[in-house]
Amino acid sequence: MASNQQLALISLVVRNYDEAIRFYVDKLNFRLVEDTRLSDTKRWVVVAPPGSAGCNLLLAQAANDEQSSRVGNQTGGRVFLFLHTDQFESDYQNLLDKGITIVRPPSQEPYGTVAVFADLYGNWWDLIQPSPPRAV
């Protein structure tokens, strides 16, 4: 019998815990789920989109030069994260109001309405309101 598995966290390498928390909480309206100090240099920081009951982000502060070189470019310039919404217009307007960089303006695609934005480090995100499922 197959086990029941799910993604719980995705690690996002950041330059600084506090600036990353401010961006995700104050600009994207995520909630701070946990901020636990593990050592003098390491914290366990988890943020989640509003209403999310699924996978969350673990904000991982770069600890060395190799990790620092990945901040903002974890996927070589491709869209990295996909944020689903049921209120595209208001969420997109929030991005504009908060001065978040829009990489590609909204467009209608077969899978839904989508816009691409960059986080504070330059990682690309899709904001997507999925299309309703089609009957088969």
pLDDT of residue 87: 96
Question: Do 7-62 and 77-136 show the same overall fold?
Answer: yes
pLDDT band at residue 135 under the 50/70/90 scheme: low
pLDDT of residue 106: 98
Whether the pLDDT of residue 104 is over 80: the answer is yes
Quick check: pTM over 0.85?
yes
Q: Quick one: which of 114, 113, 47, 127 has its CA closest to 81?
A: 127
54's tokens: 């699924």
Residues 6+ apart with CB under 8 A from 119: 23, 24, 28, 72, 100, 125
CATH architecture of 7-62: Roll (3.10)
Where in the chain are the domains? 7-62, 77-136
User: What does pLDDT average to over the chain?
Assistant: 95
The domain 77-136 is classified under which CATH number: 3.10.580.10, 2.40.30.110, 3.20.20.70, 3.10.180.10? 3.10.180.10
Q: 9-31: per-residue pLDDT in tens?
A: 999 999 999 999 999 999 999 99
pLDDT of residue 101: 98
Alpha-carbon gap, residue 116 to 103, rounded angstroms: 5
